[in-house]
Chain A
């Protein structure tokens, strides 16, 4: 018998059927991964049977002999607190900020009816999830821990009462690539050691590959396809699954055809950024030090690094929207002045695109005004009709229909909003785009579409791209060269394939083995 089996489940919220006809099984010691884009109903599917959403689940959901569909509230509660452990996406918000790590663990252990655990027991729990100096950690508050450490504490709390099933809702999406691999490794180890069954929810096929035994692919509230992971990945029957697999960047895939770079466009020499700590005289933070790099015409340079490595800081400095405190930026050999002193013509040359597509569009403006904004400043004096025509062309360039001109940002999906942001960036014909995690917040299918769009824009308009990302496999689809960053420094640069094949610096090796 399976540890957890869902058969023909439907989830409704206030009469609306959002999930239909879902079946899946989780075996003890194995991992079943639920894959789908945002809004596909994957979180509803895994949380609703335990009463953790506003939805109502119907159908057969048998967990360790208890049918969650027909059990009364007390039995459901027991199934939830004794047999199951939960891990959520945001490790900071999932931990209670005013309780120490020890207090949270203690609560997690006792909620299933166990006696108050001793300090030694708590230390053992933290060591089980690979946290060092566990006795010190017990007295720390969540904000003192890094993202990876918090996620480990979350896992420790989720398994403190020795559950049989672990439900993990996007456990690694908020972490950077190398941490992601560590956490997935930890979950694998726990499965092997304790015989835990794992129900994993993710939008990212790449992060569960090699870890999941069973895959369930969901789209629009229905299961598209399910089966053993190895079989599904190599021989998918459904078109949606195949597209999803193709859209997920891998390091092993065939190298893409890229345009031939021209002469040197932009060069930075010894770029450095220091920030004042907030308040009077609290010292400085060095966010970027001695960064030198070159971007050629029609070339894409990837800047890859973990969170806090300074990769966004360098992008902002180059785009003239963030401070630069040391070093020079040269544009075709002539110096670019500091941000506010750049002339309109210089600003036109470099345009940024950001990670969060919805936040990068002013909610009070219509798409047309958003797209036209750079033109009004950088090429003043045209008539309204000319502006309108250029906005229409720019939207066509990013594969959006003309009717989007009249829309408001709040009515756009993430992918559409990102296309509008790109249209705004290219409308004044810049020569360099600075893309700061431009595909990271998007679903794989949508992100792959944006990557293709960027490739096309590069070959058509001869654009140079500075592609800032933590995802080396996505960067490989687009970029000629790569610069790896760690702790505010560029630690390795080189041709993309060469660096992937022969990484020299430990940080690079870690990033590559994690992808």
Chain B
């Protein structure tokens, strides 16, 4: 029988230094710490060094076309991007688990109706709606949250519903029911701990998706407003000026790609482990 074959090589994956995770953590730490170390803030203009090249004087990566320190802006942009991403992912986690677990637990018609709502929301042209919201209500970081949050919880809800439906038929849930455990407690103490792993893995996968969406909105000029910045805005500014100073595009662009790739790799690794 397959069960009699001992699993080997399980320890290897754990011991390997995980490069993607290290990169993600390094980026986060730098984004948090750098603003305190640099003599410049992200919106401070150094009149003496407009368009300074890299490694000239006090500006390590030079300054942009109006004399703001590139490194300081990079750190500030990363912070905003990550903040939006993590906040939106957390919102999607809470809403997704609540919606998905309710639908899966109740089942039947209620489940059908709730999941059709999810399907309907999936079908909405989400970019179009965000742009409309921006036009009507003006640009604000709150709207970016709302727009992103509207979409990102859908996948989480589907995943959690599937998990809950599978768990619901497991004997230990039936035994808990026979033992008189109230539904609320079964949900909290049996269901949630058992879906936490999978939900966490999808949370990790949601973060890079949100980073992507936020950068895209900012690139279109629909995200956060100057002088605040995000990776998307930095990429756009760099792109406008790329024939003069390629570094202005390469720095935020490279950072964005690295962040996305590393987050996705880590997220998928977690997902494979739990499913």
Q: At the interface, yes or no: A377 with Cβ under 8 Å from chain B?
A: yes
Q: List A contacts of B108 (CB < 8 A).
A: 276
Q: At the interface, yes or no: A86 with Cβ under 8 Å from chain B?
A: no
**Which of B6, B171, B178 meets A347, CB within 8 Å?**
B178
Q: At the interface, yes or no: B1 with Cβ under 8 Å from chain A?
A: yes
Distance A224 CA – B213 CA, assembled complex (angstroms): 65
Contact B1 A362 (CB under 8 A): no
Distance A116 CA – B247 CA, assembled complex (angstroms): 65
Q: At the interface, yes or no: B11 with Cβ under 8 Å from chain A?
A: no
Q: At the interface, yes or no: A337 with Cβ under 8 Å from chain B?
A: no
Shortest distance from the beta carbon of B186 to any chain A beta carbon, whole Å: 10
Q: At the interface, yes or no: B4 with Cβ under 8 Å from chain A?
A: yes
Q: At the interface, yes or no: B120 with Cβ under 8 Å from chain A?
A: no
With contacts A320-B178, A344-B180, A378-B179 taken as known, whether A360 is within 8 angstroms of B172 at the C-beta atoms is yes
Contact B178 A350 (CB under 8 A): yes
Contact A351 B179 (CB under 8 A): yes
Contact A356 B171 (CB under 8 A): yes
Contact A362 B3 (CB under 8 A): no
Contact A360 B175 (CB under 8 A): yes
Beta-carbon contacts of A370-381 to B below 8 Å, as 1s and 0s? 100110011000
Q: At the interface, yes or no: B182 with Cβ under 8 Å from chain A?
A: yes
The stretch that binds B, out of A35-43, A106-114, A446-454, A463-471, is A35-43
Closest to B180 in A: A377
Contact A321 B179 (CB under 8 A): no
Q: At the interface, yes or no: B38 with Cβ under 8 Å from chain A?
A: no
Q: At the interface, yes or no: A50 with Cβ under 8 Å from chain B?
A: no
Q: List B contacts of A40 (CB < 8 A).
A: 4
Contact A424 B179 (CB under 8 A): yes
With contacts A356-B171, A361-B172 taken as known, whether A38 is within 8 angstroms of B182 at the C-beta atoms is no
- Give residues of chain B (105-119) contacting chain A, Cβ–Cβ below 8 Å: 108, 112
Contact B170 A374 (CB under 8 A): no
Distance A361 CA – B194 CA, assembled complex (angstroms): 12
Q: At the interface, yes or no: B56 with Cβ under 8 Å from chain A?
A: no
Q: At the interface, yes or no: A400 with Cβ under 8 Å from chain B?
A: no
**Which of A41, A54, A55, A360 meets B171, CB within 8 Å?**
A360
Which of A347, A362, A377 is the most central at the interface, judged by chain B CB atoms within 10 Å of its CB?
A: A362
- What total of A-B pairs shows CB separation below 8 Å? 87
Contact A38 B175 (CB under 8 A): no
Contact B4 A359 (CB under 8 A): no
**Which of A321, A363, A370 meets B194, CB within 8 Å?**
A363
Contact A377 B181 (CB under 8 A): yes
With contacts A38-B1, A362-B194 taken as known, whether A421 is within 8 angstroms of B175 at the C-beta atoms is yes
Q: List B contacts of A39 (CB < 8 A).
A: 1, 3-4
Which of B5, B171, B178 is the most central at the interface, judged by chain A CB atoms within 10 Å of its CB?
A: B178
- Give residues of chain B (146-163) contacting chain A, Cβ–Cβ below 8 Å: none
Beta-carbon contacts of A301-320 to B below 8 Å, as 1s and 0s? 00000000000000010011
Contact A13 B5 (CB under 8 A): yes
Closest to B196 in A: A364
Q: List B contacts of A412 (CB < 8 A).
A: none
Distance A54 CA – B5 CA, assembled complex (angstroms): 8
Which of B108, B172, B174, B181 is the most central at the interface, judged by chain A CB atoms within 10 Å of its CB?
A: B172
Q: List A contacts of B179 (CB < 8 A).
A: 347, 351, 373-374, 377-378, 424, 428
Q: At the interface, yes or no: A14 with Cβ under 8 Å from chain B?
A: yes
Shortest distance from the beta carbon of B37 to any chain A beta carbon, whole Å: 43
With contacts A344-B180, A364-B194, A377-B179 taken as known, whether A354 is within 8 angstroms of B5 at the C-beta atoms is no
Q: Classify the interface of chain B: helix, strand, loop or mixed.
A: helix
Q: At the interface, yes or no: B8 with Cβ under 8 Å from chain A?
A: yes
- Give residues of chain B (66-113) contacting chain A, Cβ–Cβ below 8 Å: 108, 112
Distance A83 CA – B194 CA, assembled complex (angstroms): 48
Shortest distance from the beta carbon of B117 to any chain A beta carbon, whole Å: 15
**Which of B5, B175, B180 meets A424, CB within 8 Å?**
B175
Q: At the interface, yes or no: A163 with Cβ under 8 Å from chain B?
A: no
Contact A354 B174 (CB under 8 A): yes
Shortest distance from the beta carbon of B195 to any chain A beta carbon, whole Å: 10
- Give residues of chain A (1-49) contacting chain B, Cβ–Cβ below 8 Å: 13-14, 16, 18, 38-41, 43-44
Distance A54 CA – B4 CA, assembled complex (angstroms): 12
Distance A41 CA – B4 CA, assembled complex (angstroms): 7
Q: At the interface, yes or no: B139 with Cβ under 8 Å from chain A?
A: no
Q: At the interface, yes or no: A348 with Cβ under 8 Å from chain B?
A: yes
Q: List A contacts of B176 (CB < 8 A).
A: 362, 373
Q: List A contacts of B1 (CB < 8 A).
A: 38-39, 43, 170
Q: List A contacts of B194 (CB < 8 A).
A: 362-364
- Give residues of chain B (1-60) contacting chain A, Cβ–Cβ below 8 Å: 1-6, 8
**Which of A13, A280, A364 meets B6, CB within 8 Å?**
A13
Contact A359 B171 (CB under 8 A): yes
Q: List A contacts of B180 (CB < 8 A).
A: 344, 347-348, 374, 377-378
Distance A41 CA – B2 CA, assembled complex (angstroms): 10
Shortest distance from the beta carbon of B38 to any chain A beta carbon, whole Å: 46
Closest to B176 in A: A373
Beta-carbon contacts of B191-215 to A below 8 Å, as 1s and 0s? 0011000000000000000000000
Q: List A contacts of B2 (CB < 8 A).
A: 43
Closest to A316 in B: B174
Q: List A contacts of B271 (CB < 8 A).
A: none
Q: At the interface, yes or no: A352 with Cβ under 8 Å from chain B?
A: yes
Distance A492 CA – B175 CA, assembled complex (angstroms): 30
Q: List B contacts of A276 (CB < 8 A).
A: 108
Distance A138 CA – B171 CA, assembled complex (angstroms): 38
Q: At the interface, yes or no: A53 with Cβ under 8 Å from chain B?
A: yes
Contact A38 B178 (CB under 8 A): no
Contact A16 B6 (CB under 8 A): yes
What are 17 residue pairs bridging A and B, where the CB atoms are less than 8 Å apart in the complex?
A: A39-B1, A39-B3, A39-B4, A43-B2, A53-B5, A319-B178, A320-B178, A352-B174, A352-B178, A359-B171, A359-B172, A363-B194, A373-B179, A374-B179, A424-B175, A424-B179, A428-B179
Q: Which 7 A-B pairs have the closest CB atoms?
A: A360-B171, A374-B179, A377-B180, A354-B171, A364-B193, A39-B4, A321-B174
Contacts beyond the supplied A38-B3, A41-B4, A377-B182: 15 A-B pairs with Cβ under 8 Å? A16-B6, A18-B4, A38-B1, A38-B4, A40-B4, A43-B1, A43-B2, A316-B174, A321-B174, A350-B178, A351-B179, A352-B175, A364-B194, A374-B178, A425-B175
Which A residues contact B (CB, under 8 angstroms)?
Answer: 13-14, 16, 18, 38-41, 43-44, 53-55, 170, 276, 279-280, 316, 319-321, 344, 347-348, 350-352, 354-356, 359-364, 370, 373-374, 377-378, 421, 424-425, 428
